[in-house]
Each structure stands twice: as structure tokens, then as C-alpha cells.
């Protein structure tokens, strides 16, 4: 059984409309998760270690103020298009669209005010919560009125995140959740002792602004071969890698499949990622620098968390040979990602 509770979390600043932000607490025997109506943010995610002790394994803030300030998308749903679009530009049906540039020369995670920075309306479900918003035609430069539903449901050890959308005009869309995990517990120094595997035979090399070059490269014989579990710290050293911020190309198909697994030997915590999406961005928190005060006054230095963002491939709107990122009127965007927590 999953218990669902809703409570007040804070009020938006007056210049942001001053609406009330709610927190939804989903609790099963083995997982407890807190989700905000602001940005659909996973603010807390507690799971058991092998001794049955709960710890919060996601980075974030104790108060709403932390989330309304600038931060690296902790726990949030990002969109209309997750990841990067080169030069913030794309053409559609002969028309050129220019987006806000918020990541060097590129547009990242929806632009200046993406889905992570807005208040969503919420509906409590028996085992979760469903959020809704209408992204109006022209918001952040994107075409079409886009109706978006994000549904979190908790069933035992499994947290499911379902994304649905409908549009009035053809538009690119790629939604993901940007939770930062540390299975040792948030505030732990690094994730070097985590063992990571990703079920991908290829990945996307990127240029120095993190835009895919267009090549789909085999992982075989490279530091990107994570098909067998690797201990992260030793692996980064062995291949002289500063970290990961790359899309791994998943086996195509609409069915649920296991795409990544992370194991933390000291606590026994294991997290599996299952998804219907064509890609997963593996990010090792390379841009964290210890400057943000997180939950319990924790600081978050470089490599103190990892993200496994299930999504379409970055810059797919400008790369015709990448998986289709366009949603047309009359169609439905519908993807689900499942996070499964266990101990070993």
C-alpha cells in the first residue's frame, strides 16, 4: 500500500505570482518520496540500506527559496526540450525558431524559464500524484499550445514517472526528470564508490559546448563501455575522464526495458532505471562546485552525485538521423521511466 499526503511547502515570491507550493509525500514500506508542485521537483527520496536504515538519496534544498533561486535543476522536470539545442535554433515547416540561449551558445532544458521554474496544478491519486500545465504557444520560443501531464506513482520499491503531452501545432518535445542521486545519502562527498552499468552499445560524442557532433559511436573499447558494471572513480582514472555528460543510445522500442543499474557496495543500495525512451544522459555532476548549501546545510562538490536522465537524444531537432523529437497535433507524447530501489 502507498500512503499519499499533501501539505503546504511555501509561497511563490510576489513577482512570480505568489501561488502556494504544495508538497506531496508518497510512502510505501521501502521508499518515501516528496514531490513539489513547483517544477514537479523530487525534493526527497528515502530508501533503505541493507540494514533497513532509510537515507535521503537525492540532492536538493530544505526550503522553497532554494529551488526558486538559480540551481542546477535539482530534482526537476525539464522541458519543453530536455538537454541542449545547438545555437537555440531549429527550423520547422520552413519557419525558423530562435530560443533563449542559457548554456553558452546553446539552449538548455527549456530555456530561461522552463518547466522546472513554474507552478503546476496537482491531482492526488490513490498511489501518487498527477501534475498538469498548459505551456502556451510561443512560450520560450516554442510553437503550439502544449498540454502536459506528469504522473508520479509509487508501488512498493518502484517509482514510476509518466509523461504525456498533446499539442496544437507541431513542436519538439523531450521531457525528463533531473534528479541528482547519491546512494550513500545526499551530502556524501562523492560517488566514486558507486558501481554503474548502462545497457548501451553506442553513445554520442560531443563538441566543446556539449552538442553532439552527429556521430553515433560504438562504446566498444572506450571509456564509454559501461555494459558491465564499473566502479566509477577507478573507471574515470583509468580512462583519464573528467566525468560524464553524454547521451547513451538505447535499444529502440516502445516497451519498458532495463537501461541502467547503480549499486553502492557499502550500503547495499541498488537503483535500476527502466524506460521507454530512446536515450539516457549520464551526468556525473561535473559542474557542482560546493557553492550551494543543500539540505541539512550539506555542500555539493564536484562528482557528489550522478544523474541518469531518460530522454530523446540531444539536439535531435537539428539531426535528422536521430530519433524523431516532433509531436504533431492529434498525436500523444507518452513515455514512462521507472526507478526501482532494492538492496544487495
Whether residue 238 is contained in a domain is answered as: yes
Residue 303: which CATH number? 2.70.98.10
Domain for residue 50, yes or no? Answer: yes
Q: Name the active-site residue from 22, 34, 139, 178.
A: 178
Q: Is the predicted pLDDT of residue 252 greater than 90, yes or no?
A: no
The annotation places the binding site for beta-D-galactose at 83-84, 178-180, 245
Q: Kindly report whether the global pTM for this prediction surpasses the value 0.85.
A: yes
Q: Is residue 103 domain-resident?
A: no
Indicate whether 271 belongs to any domain. Answer: yes
Helix (H, G, I), strand (E, B) or coil at 87: helix
Q: Which of 147, 140, 144 is nearest to 111 (CA)?
A: 140
| Residue 223, in any domain of the structure | yes
How confident is the model over 55-101, as pLDDT tens digits? Answer: 999 999 999 999 999 999 999 999 999 999 999 999 999 999 999 99
Task: Note the pLDDT of residue 228.
Answer: 98
Q: For residue 66, what pLDDT is reported?
A: 96
Inside any domain, residue 339: yes
Mean pLDDT of 103-116: 95
Tell me the pairing of strands 146-155 and 128-135: antiparallel
Question: What is the overall mean pLDDT for the chain?
Answer: 97
CA 8 from chain centre, in angstroms, equals: 24
pLDDT of residue 276 exceeding 90, the answer is yes
Q: Name 237's Cβ contacts closer than 8 Å, sequence gap at least 6.
A: none
Say how many residues make up the chain.
Answer: 344
Count of structural domains within the chain: 1
Question: CA torsion sign, 247 to 286 to 43 to 115?
Answer: negative
Task: Please name every residue paired with 99 in a beta bridge, in sequence order, or none if there are none.
Answer: none
244 part of a folded domain: yes
Taking the CA atoms of residue 220, residue 317, residue 305 and residue 249 in that order, the dihedral angle to the nearest 10 degrees is -20
Nearest to 282 by CA among 259, 264, 265: 259
Q: Residue 17 pLDDT more than 90? A: no
Q: pLDDT tens digits for 180-206?
A: 999 999 999 999 999 999 999 999 999
> Given 22, 46, 272, 309, which residue is catalytic?
309
Annotated binding site: 83-84, 178-180, 245
Chain centroid offset of residue 22 CA: 20
* Residue 90 confidence (pLDDT): 98
Q: What is the percentage of the chain residues whose pLDDT exceeds 70?
A: 100
Give the per-residue pLDDT at 254. 79
Question: Has 231 been annotated as catalytic?
Answer: no
- Any catalytic annotation for residue 178? yes
Range of the domain at 218: 3-76+150-163+177-343
List pLDDT tens digits, range 278-301: 999 999 999 999 999 999 999 999
CA distance 132 to 123: 8
Distance CA 316, CA 165 (A): 18
Helix (H) and strand (E) counts in the chain? 2, 27
95 within some domain: no
Residues 6+ apart with CB under 8 A from 37: 9, 21, 22, 23, 24, 119, 120, 121, 122, 131
Amino acid at each position: 500500500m502507498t500512503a499519499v499526503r499533501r501539505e503546504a511547502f511555501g509561497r511563490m515570491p510576489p513577482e512570480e505570482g505568489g501561488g502556494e507550493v504544495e508538497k506531496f509525500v508518497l510512502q510505501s514500506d521501502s521508499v518515501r518520496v516528496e514531490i513539489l508542485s513547483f517544477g514537479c521537483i523530487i525534493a526527497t527520496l528515502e530508501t533503505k540500506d541493507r540494514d533497513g536504515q532509510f537515507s535521503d538519496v537525492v540532492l536538493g534544498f530544505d526550503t522553497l527559496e532554494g529551488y526558486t533561486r538559480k540551481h542546477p535543476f535539482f530534482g526537476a522536470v525539464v522541458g519543453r526540450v530536455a538537454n541542449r539545442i545547438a545555437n537555440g535554433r531549429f527550423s520547422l515547416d520552413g519557419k525558423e525558431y530562435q530560443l533563449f540561449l542559457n548554456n553558452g551558445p546553446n539552449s538548455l532544458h527549456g530555456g530561461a524559464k522552463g518547466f522546472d521554474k513554474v507552478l503546476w496544478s496537482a491531482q492526488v491519486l490513490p498511489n501518487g500524484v498527477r501534475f498538469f500545465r498548459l505551456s502556451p504557444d510561443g512560450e520560450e520560443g516554442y510553437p503550439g499550445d502544449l498540454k502536459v501531464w506528469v504522473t508520479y506513482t509509487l508501488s512498493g520499491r518502484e517509482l514510476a514517472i509518466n509523461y504525456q503531452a498533446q499539442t496544437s501545432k507541431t513542436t519538439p518535445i523531450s521531457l525528463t526528470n533531473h534528479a541528482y542521486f547519491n546512494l550513500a545519502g545526499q551530502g556524501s562527498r562523492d560517488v566514486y564508490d558507486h558501481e554503474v552499468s548502462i545497457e548501451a552499445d553506442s553513445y554520442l560524442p560531443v563538441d566543446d559546448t556539449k552538442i553532439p557532433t552527429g556521430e553515433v559511436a560504438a562504446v566498444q573499447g572506450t571509456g564509454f563501455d559501461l555494459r558491465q558494471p564499473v566502479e566509477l572513480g577507478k573507471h574515470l582514472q583509468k580512462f583519464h575522464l573528467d566525468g560524464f555528460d553524454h547521451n547513451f543510445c538505447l535499444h529502440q522500442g516502445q516497451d519498458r526495458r532495463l537501461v541502467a543499474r547503480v549499486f553502492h557496495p557499502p550500503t547495499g543500495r541498488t537503483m535500476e532505471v527502466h524506460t521507454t525512451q530512446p536515450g539516457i544522459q549520464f551526468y556525473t555532476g561535473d559542474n557542482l562546485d560546493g557553492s550551494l548549501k543543500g539540505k541539512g546545510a550539506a555542500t555539493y562538490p564536484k562528482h557528489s552525485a550522478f544523474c541518469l536522465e531518460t530522454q530523446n537524444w540531444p539536439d535531435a531537432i537539428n539531426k535528422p538521423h536521430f530519433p524523431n523529437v516532433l509531436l504533431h497535433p492529434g498525436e500523444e507524447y507518452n513515455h514512462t521511466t521507472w526507478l526501482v530501489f532494492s538492496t544487495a
